[in-house]
Amino acid sequence: MYFWKIENLKEDIRSNDFSEKDRFIYGLLYVTLSAIGIEVISLIPTENQNIWDYIESISKIVIVLLGTIYIYRANGGENGSDFLGRYFSIGFVINIRLLLLLVPMSFALLFYYIYAFPEDEEIPSTALDVLPFLLWYLLLFWRVGKHVRDVRN
């Protein structure tokens, strides 16, 4: 595994000395570090953060990490093929499909906020606005894994 020497990595790729397991490890690290980066930014202290904000951020990182491992195994693990191609292409289509669920969920939450809280009041995170979206995120990885497994078989 290379962390700095891009020329050595490029040579391994050119010479086909870059296994499916190597692709998985780089892909896993890439998506996990991306998730951590996004969640660290969201944890920059604001006036009204609470435990639900931390639960959401940590859960998203764990879901990305474990979900990616689940999809890799659904693809056949080290003996699978084209993990990243399947992961990203099937993941894209499943994301589009699940947007049909995410949009109404978001609007329902927005309308709840509009009617339940005065305009000037800070709205703290609660289980109501964290758990449904974490379940949506779990559904996303589960469905991608199911379809990757279907392609493998």
d(Cα 6, Cα 52) in Å, to the nearest integer?
Answer: 40
Residues of the chain whose pLDDT is less than 70? 42-47
- Write the DSSP assignment of 39-79 as a string of letters: HHHHTS--TT--HHHHHHHHHHHHHHHHHHHHHHHHTTGGG
- pLDDT for residue 68: 95
- pLDDT for residue 123: 78
With beta carbons less than 8 A apart as the criterion, state whether 53 and 134 touch: no
- pLDDT for residue 141: 96
- pLDDT for residue 12: 84
Residue with tokens 């978001």: 106
Q: Does a structural domain hold residue 109?
A: yes
Q: Which two tokens stand for residue 76?
A: 């056949």
- The boundaries of the domain holding residue 32 are 6-152
Q: Does a structural domain hold residue 1?
A: no
- pLDDT for residue 101: 92
d(Cα 32, Cα 40) in Å, to the nearest integer?
Answer: 12
Give the total number of structural domains in the chain: 1
- pLDDT for residue 64: 94
Q: Does a structural domain hold residue 16?
A: yes
pTM for the predicted model, two decimal places? 0.81
Q: Does a structural domain hold residue 64?
A: yes
